[in-house]
Amino acid sequence: MAKKTIRDIPLQGKRVVLRSEFNVPIKDGGIGDDIRIRAELPTLRYILDQGAAVLILTHLGRPKGKPAPEMSVKPVADRLATLLGQPVGFIPYGAEEDIQAAAAAIPFGQAALLENTRFWAEEEKNDGEFSRFLSTLGDTYVNDAFGAAHRAHCSTEGIGHFLPAVAGFLMEKEIAALGETVERPQRPFVVVMGGAKVSDKIALIENLADKADEMLFGGAMANTLLAADGYAMGDSKIETDKLELVREMMARVRQKKCRLVYPKDFVAADEFSPDANIRVVAADQVPAGWMALDIGPVTVSDWAEIFAGAGTIIWNGPLGVYEMAPFAGGSNGVARAMAASPGITVVGGGDAVAAARQAGCGEQMSHLSTGGGASLELLEGKKLPGIEILRDK
């Protein structure tokens, strides 16, 4: 799985086409959260410091294959220039010859950003001709857009058939943290699974149960698993139409050597509201008309003990309705106990990462994965086109 990175190739005097993940929120022509732009600075600075000229590609939003002014990436070029402390060019949508001329004119040690790749209908079709065109804009391809690596598009995969392709630092870190950690975990290897739906995560559970020593279930997912085992879960969120599917999956998962751990207690509420009446109940005592909205304190302290002896912990999916303070205790407690663990700690999934940050533990984890769909697919053991295209070490 080890892929070549920008450290492994000469960059001096090269024209680099860098695929970044700058799919940032744009509102009223301004950029909201710019964390994705900041995250790209180490890769970009490294390439520039080596003396390369950099043409950056990104998509933004879903313009559906035609130019849409409100999804222009021009504001991204401006923000990048501010953060980088040097000018960053912007190459608008236009004729191929004009784009080629503008790319060839980027001075060494400087960068320019091409307009939103999804303004071209060919991009999402992974069209061979458009990939070849993109490859004429440089002599080396660097993919740092992990969040788009599960898509085979011209800018994430197709271009790599025409140019030598290597990983940037963000991509390298994600491959190491998700891919390699799962393949060669420090043991005991503990997986914490939560979130909304079991049915979203069947492939994930089955793949990780092959590798993990223990798998801990919380969140609404645990409600469905317990309901499939015949527990009365009151009015808890349950995938009632998926119970048979879940039983079949769990029959397979139980054949594996992985120990399965369910919540011992829940924080139950009489309505789905932060103002609900609340009771901590044993897992088999959810009252009729009540709903389990978080794992309970006994469960959190049991799990904290497991984490204290863990070699690797991977967490996906919050363990309760962490968006409401009365039901955030389980996710907060698990985040803190993970942060205190001596093992390698990896958090994947948009909501689990948000929950870890909300608990104030984001910085203490070994890795917070930035890619939603891409993280899940990598943890499912799938091959991602944007990673496969990179040169092996």
Question: 98 is written with which tokens?
Answer: 């004009």
User: Would you count residue 326 as binding Mg ion (CB under 5 A)?
Assistant: no
What are the two backbone dihedrals, phi and then psi, of residue 248, each rounded to the nearest 5 degrees?
Answer: -65, -45
CA separation, residue 93 to residues 51, 65, 117, 321 (Å): 27, 12, 9, 43
Query: 53 or 269: whose CB is closer to ligand ADP?
Result: 269
Q: Which of residues 347-386 bind Mg ion (CB under 5 A)?
A: 350-351
Binding mask 320-359 for ligand ADP (x = CB under 6 A): xx-x-------------------------xxxx-------
User: Would you count residue 168 as binding ligand ADP (CB under 6 A)?
Assistant: no
Query: 102 or 149: whose CB is closer to ligand ADP?
Result: 149
Binding mask 44-83 for ligand ADP (x = CB under 6 A): ----------------------------------------
Contacts of 275 (CB under 8 A, 6+ apart): none
Distance CA 44, CA 53 (A): 10
Minimum Å gap between C-beta 182 and Mg ion is: 20
373 a catalytic residue = yes
List the catalytic residue out of 45, 132, 197, 382. Answer: 197
Distance of CA 393 to the CA centre of its chain: 24
Question: 15 is written with which tokens?
Answer: 């024209």
Minimum Å gap between C-beta 391 and Mg ion is: 33
Distance CA 16, CA 47 (A): 8
List the catalytic residue out of 14, 15, 36, 79. Answer: 36
Selection from Mg ion, ligand ADP, none that 292 binds (CB < 5 to 8 A by kind) is ligand ADP
Provide the 8-state DSSP code for 5.
B
Binding mask 183-222 for ligand ADP (x = CB under 6 A): -----------xxx---x------------------xx--
Residue located via tokens 């599917």 = 245
List the catalytic residue out of 61, 350, 372, 381. Answer: 350
Distance CA 357, CA 353 (A): 6
Selection from Mg ion, ligand ADP, none that 316 binds (CB < 5 to 8 A by kind) is ligand ADP
Helix (H) / strand (E) containing 282? strand 278-282
Minimum Å gap between C-beta 292 and ligand ADP is: 5
Selection from Mg ion, ligand ADP, none that 347 binds (CB < 5 to 8 A by kind) is none
Distance CA 273, CA 289 (A): 14
Query: 76 or 198: whose CB is closer to ligand ADP?
Result: 198
Asked if 385 contacts 152 with a C-beta cutoff of 8 angstroms, the reply is: yes
User: Would you count residue 237 as binding ligand ADP (CB under 6 A)?
Assistant: yes
- Look at residue 16 and give its three-state secondary structure: strand
252 a catalytic residue = no
List the catalytic residue out of 74, 373, 381, 382. Answer: 373
First to last CA, the chain: 9
36 a catalytic residue = yes
- Look at residue 90 and give its three-state secondary structure: strand
Nearest CA-CA partner of 320 in 311, 331, 307: 331
Q: Which of residues 295-324 bind ligand ADP (CB under 6 A)?
A: 316-318, 320-321, 323
Selection from ligand ADP, Mg ion, none that 380 binds (CB < 5 to 8 A by kind) is none
187 a catalytic residue = no
Nearest CA-CA partner of 390 in 153, 165, 134: 165
3-state secondary structure string across 168-191: CHHHHHHHHHHHHHHHCCCCCEEE
User: Would you count residue 270 as binding ligand ADP (CB under 6 A)?
Assistant: no
Query: 76 or 221: whose CB is closer to Mg ion?
Result: 221
Asked if 33 contacts 24 with a C-beta cutoff of 8 angstroms, the reply is: yes
Catalytic residues: 36, 197, 350, 373
Residues that bind Mg ion (CB under 5 A): 350-351
Residues that bind ligand ADP (CB under 6 A): 194-196, 200, 219-220, 223, 237, 292-293, 316-318, 320-321, 323, 349-352
